[in-house]
Amino acid sequence: MASTDPPSGTSTPLDSAASSLGGNSLTSSLLRAKPYRFATQCATVDNPDPSHKDQHGSSSVPIYQTATFKGMGGQYDYTRSGNPTRSHLEHHIAKISSARHAFAVTSGMGALDVIFRLLKPGDSIIAGNDLYGGSNRLLTYLKVHNGIKVHHLDTTKPSTLLPVLTNPEQNVTMVLLETPTNPLLQIADIAAISAMVHQHKPEAIIVVDNTMMSPYLQRPLEHGADVVYDSGTKYLSGHHDLMAGVICCNREDLAKGIAFTINSIGNGLSPFDSFLLLRGVKTLALRLDKQQATSHLVAKYLHDLGFKVNYPGLPGHPGKEIHDRLASGAGAVLSFETKDKALSERIVGAARLWGISVSFGCINSLISMPCLMSHASIDPKVRKERNLPEDLIRLCVGIEDPEDLIDDLEAALLEAGAVRVVDEAGSRAKLERVRTAEETEEEDVEVKVEGEVESLIVSAPGKVILFGEHAVVHGITAIAGSVDLRCYALAESRQDGKVSLVLPDFDFEATWDIASLPWDQVTSSAKAPRPESTPDQSFVDVLAQKVVRGVDPKVVQSEIAFLYLYMSLSEHKRPSQTFTIRSALPIGAGLGSSAAYSVCISSALLYTHSHLPLPPSTSSAHEGRRAITPEQANVVNAWAFTAEKIIHGTPSGVDNTVASLGGAIAFTKAVKGREGGLDGLHGFKSIRFLLTDTKVSRDTKTLVAGVARRKLEEPDLVNPILKSIQAISDEARRCLTDSDMSRSTQLSTLEKLIDENHSHLVSLGVGHASLEAVKAKTGEQPWGLHTKLTGAGGGGCAVTIIPDDFSESSLTDLKAALADAGFETYETSVGGSGFGLLSTSRNASSVVEGEGGAEKTVLPDVARFRGAAAAELAAWAEGEKGWAFV
Ligand code: PLP
311 shares a domain with 278: no
Q: Where are the beta strands (DSSP E) in 434-575?
A: 456-467, 478-493, 498-503, 508-513
- Please indicate, yes or no, whether residues 664 and 574 belong to a single structural domain of this protein: yes
Please, are residues 483 and 462 in contact by the beta-carbon 8 Å criterion? yes
Which of 234, 237, 394 has most ligand 1 atoms within 8 Å of CB, for mutation? 234
Which residues of the chain carry a pLDDT beneath 50? 1-25, 445-451, 619-622, 842-855
Q: Measured in angstroms, how far is the CA atom of residue 113 from the centroid of ligand 1?
A: 12
Last residue of a domain, one of 265, 282, 299: 282
Is residue 86 flagged as an active site residue?
A: no
Residues 422 and 521 in one domain: no
Pick from 819, 444, 455, 834: nearest CA to 637:
834
pLDDT of residue 447: 40
Q: Is 495 exposed, middle or buried (0-12, 13-18, 19+ CB in 10 A)?
A: exposed
Q: Which atom of ligand 1 is nearest to the CA of 233?
A: 15
Question: Is residue 401, in this structure, part of any structural domain at all?
Answer: yes
| 357 CA to centre of own chain | 32
Å from CA of 106 to ligand 1 middle: 12
Taking the complete model, does pTM exceed 0.95, yes or no?
no
Q: What span, in angstroms and rounded, lies between the C-alpha atoms of 792 and 464?
A: 11
Q: What is the CATH number of the domain that holds 410?
A: 3.90.1150.10
Domain CATH for 105? 3.40.640.10
How much is the pLDDT for 787?
A: 97
User: Prior bond to 782 cis, omega within 30?
Assistant: yes
Q: Which residues line ligand 1 (CB under 6 A)?
A: 107-109, 132, 134, 178, 182, 209, 211-212, 231, 233, 243, 245, 359, 374
Residue 460 CA to ligand 1 centre (angstroms): 50
Judge if 278 and 289 occupy the same domain: no
* Per annotation, catalytic residue among 189, 209, 408, 655: 209
Say if residue 580 is in the same domain as residue 712. yes
Q: Which residue type is seen at 634?
A: N
What gap in Å lies between CA 848 and CA 454, rounded to an integer?
17
209 as an active site residue: the answer is yes
Last residue of a domain, one of 226, 261, 282: 282
Is the domain of 475 the same as that of 332? no
pLDDT in tens, 387-420: 789 999 999 999 999 999 999 999 999 999 999 9
- Find the angle CA(236)-CA(242)-CA(243) to the nearest 5 degrees: 80
Same domain, 262 and 321: no
Q: Which numbered atom of ligand 1 lies nearest the CA of 111?
A: 16
Residue 509, beta-bridge partner list: 502
In this structure, what are the phi and psi dihedrals at residue 665, rounded to the nearest 5 degrees?
Answer: -135, 155
In a domain, 450, yes or no: no
665: exposed, middle or buried (C-beta count within 10 Å: 0-12, 13-18, 19+)?
buried
In which region does residue 203 sit, left (phi positive, over 0), alpha (psi from -120 to 50) or beta (all else)?
alpha
Mutate to test the pocket of ligand 1, among 115, 116, 217, 233 (most ligand atoms within 8 A of CB): 233
Same-domain status, 291 and 253: no
pLDDT in tens, 608-626: 988 888 876 554 444 567 7
* 443, part of any domain: no
Q: Which residues pair with 268 in a beta bridge?
A: 105
Same domain assignment for residues 8 and 100: yes
pLDDT in tens, 39-75: 999 999 998 888 888 889 999 999 999 999 999 988 9
376 domain residue, yes or no? yes
- Give distance in angstroms: CA of 463 to centre of ligand 1: 51
Residue 885 belongs to a domain: no
The reported pLDDT for the residue numbered 522 is: 83
Q: What is the DSSP secondary-structure string of 821-838?
A: TT-EEEEEEES-B--EEE
Q: How many domains does the chain have?
A: 3
Assess whether 149 carries a catalytic annotation.
no
Burial letters 296-329, b for 16+ CB under 10 A, else e: bebbbbbbebebebbbbbbeebebbebbeebbeb
Q: Can you give the residue range of the structural domain that contains 479?
A: 455-830
**362 and 507 inside one domain:** no
* Domain assignment present for 448: no
**Does the CA dihedral 409-410-411-414 come out positive or negative?**
positive
Mode of pairing for the β-strands spanning 355-356 and 366-368 = parallel
Atom 11 of ligand 1: nearest residue by CA position: 108
Statement to judge: residues 66 and 125 lie in one domain: yes
Residue 137's H or E segment, with its range, is helix 133-145
Do 278 and 320 belong to one domain? Answer: no
Whether residue 546 lies in the annotated active site: no
pLDDT single digits (tens) 278-326: 999 999 999 999 999 999 999 999 999 999 999 999 988 989 999 999 9
Domain contains 563 = yes
In 3D space, the residue among 119, 134, 102 whose CA is nearest the CA of residue 262 turns out to be: 102
Half-sphere exposure of 289 (CA within 13 A, CB side): 6
